[in-house]
Amino acid sequence: MTRGALALLAGAGAVTLVAACVRPLKPGDPMRDLNRAQREQFDRGRAVVEREFEPDTGLGPLFNSPACGECHEDPVAGGGGDEIERHIALLRLDGTCDPLVERGGPVIQQVATPALREALGIDGEPVPPDAAVARRSTPDLLGFGLLDAVADSTILARADPDDRNGDGISGRPNRFFDGRLGRFGRKALVPSLRDFNDGAFVIEQGVTNPAVPVEETIGGDAIPEGVDPVPEPEIDRRAIDDTDAFVRFLAAPVPRSLDQDGRRGRKLFASVGCVGCHVPTLETAKYAIDPLRAKTVAAYTDLLLHDMGPELADICLGDASPSEFRTEPLMGLRLSSRFLHDARAGTLREAIELHGGEAAVSRDRFRALSEEDRAALLKFLASL
């Protein structure tokens, strides 16, 4: 750095010069302001996420992927993926939802290790014949730490299950099996990022850990002797903590700058009513850990359940009915090539057109826009 630049740093031009030297965050980068220990743990966690397990290191005997990064890979580790999972549940006649845990649910593992195939002659976990089956795409994890740091009270303050304000939107919370407020997953069942990460190892890879030390069953049946050679837990607490740190400290995607059409599209997004569910910003709690404390995150979600209509309905989960889904966060939307919970939409326009239920009014307002205005709104969405 030249003497003149140093002089600027000491004077009124310091803020401008320093800002110009800061590299914009890219997908997969850690959040800014991590301390040294947090950054080291983030880097160790990335290595765990990218680690490919094998049967003799804990994989399976039933699994969906041998590595976290096998699914969360696009465009970087922690991103989304093109894999489609099968989830199951059963809505009983009394209105209660059975996740069919005792019969292999709610997530069906679609791959068996060679030892399990030889023992039982199956390629994956069987689906109970009376179960409702749903398709689930792989979400990206970017900015999830910020969503985890939003206070429960902030989410509940937006709930309006009886639509008392008469706007046609009646978002309501989901609750985990122990009563905690949910926020993660397509049905907003999982209450915390720690629960999300701990459970993913055993559900997705068949890798047990201190938080979930027991293997999944095979459609409710015990695993045969001799097909799982690694004693439980198959990874240690440090690996779990490092993975949690990696996901927690992944930076939220930075939106692209908007031109005049994009700025008009942002206003149209609000005027047709999309912000009734896709709330532009949420505040993280003042008691969260640094660097997550008291931050504004442009997540475009309220983390609540909304009825999306019969065309999108699939399974129940917790308090969520088959047609209810959590408002999908739109941060990082530009990094996706397929949309909605089951990846059925190939374009943003198609995804909007498939909205129903509480979103039907906004969908119809979108349809009523001129082609030019629709293009501007879509241009805004493609910037997120």
**Average pLDDT, 10 consecutive residues per value, the chain (384 residues):** 37 42 89 97 98 97 97 96 97 96 97 97 97 97 98 98 93 97 98 97 97 94 94 97 98 97 98 98 95 97 98 98 98 97 98 98 98 98 98
Structural domain span for residue 353: 260-381
The residues near 347 (Cβ < 8 Å, ≥ 6 apart) are: 339
Given the DSSP bridges, would you call strands 324-326 and 305-307 parallel, antiparallel or unpaired?
antiparallel
pTM of the model: 0.93
Please check whether residue 255 lies inside any domain of the structure: no
Say if 213 falls within a structural domain. yes
Residues sharing a CB contact under 8 Å with residue 176, sequence separation 6 or more, in sequence order: 182, 189, 190, 191, 195, 318
Q: Which of 172, 198, 152 is nearest to 326 (CA)?
A: 172
Q: For residues 89 and 105, is the Cβ–Cβ distance under 8 A? A: yes
Whether residue 198 sits in one domain with residue 285: no
Together in a domain, 71 and 188:
yes
Contact 243, 212 (CB under 8 A): no
What is the pLDDT, as a whole number, of residue 309? 98
User: In this predicted structure, what is the pLDDT of residue 175?
Assistant: 97
Structural domain contains residue 369: yes
Residues 303 and 224 in one domain: no
* Residue 320 phi, psi dihedral angles, 5° rounding: -80, 130
d(CA 185, CA 136) in angstroms, rounded, equals 10
Domain co-membership, 244 together with 184: yes
CATH number for the domain harbouring residue 333: 1.10.760.10
According to the model, what pLDDT value does residue 23 have? 83
239 and 264, same structural domain?
no
Which of 169, 174, 175, 100 has its CA nearest to residue 134?
100
Residues with Cβ within 8 Å of residue 357, at least 6 apart in sequence: 306, 307, 308, 309, 310, 312, 323
Indicate whether 15 belongs to any domain. Answer: no
The answer to whether residue 47 is domain-embedded is yes
Q: Are residues 270 and 222 in the same domain?
A: no
Is the same domain home to 236 and 280? no
Determine the Cα–Cα distance for residues 366 and 283; give it in Å rounded to an integer.
28
Could you tell me if 284 and 228 lie in one domain? no
Query: What domain count does the chain have?
Result: 2
Closest Cα to residue 194, out of 157, 147, 253, 156? 147
Residues 244 and 264 in one domain: no
The alpha carbon of 56 is separated from its chain's Cα centroid by a whole number of angstroms, namely 30
Please, which residues have CB within 8 angstroms of residue 53's CB and are 6 or more apart in sequence?
59, 66, 67, 205, 207
Q: Decide which of 221, 248, 275 is a domain's last residue.
A: 248
Residues 198 and 70 placed together within one structural domain of the fold: yes
- Model pLDDT, residue 182: 98
Residue 5 is assigned to a structural domain of this protein: no
Residue 322 is assigned to a structural domain of this protein = yes
Which pLDDT score is estimated for 21? 63
Same domain, 80 and 228: yes
The residue count for the chain: 384
- Let me know if residue 7 belongs to a domain: no
Q: What is the pLDDT of residue 22?
A: 76
Same domain membership, residue 232 and residue 284: no
Of 248, 275, 307, which marks where a domain is finished? Answer: 248
* Three-state secondary-structure class, residue 146: helix
Residue that finishes a domain, picked among 188, 218, 248: 248
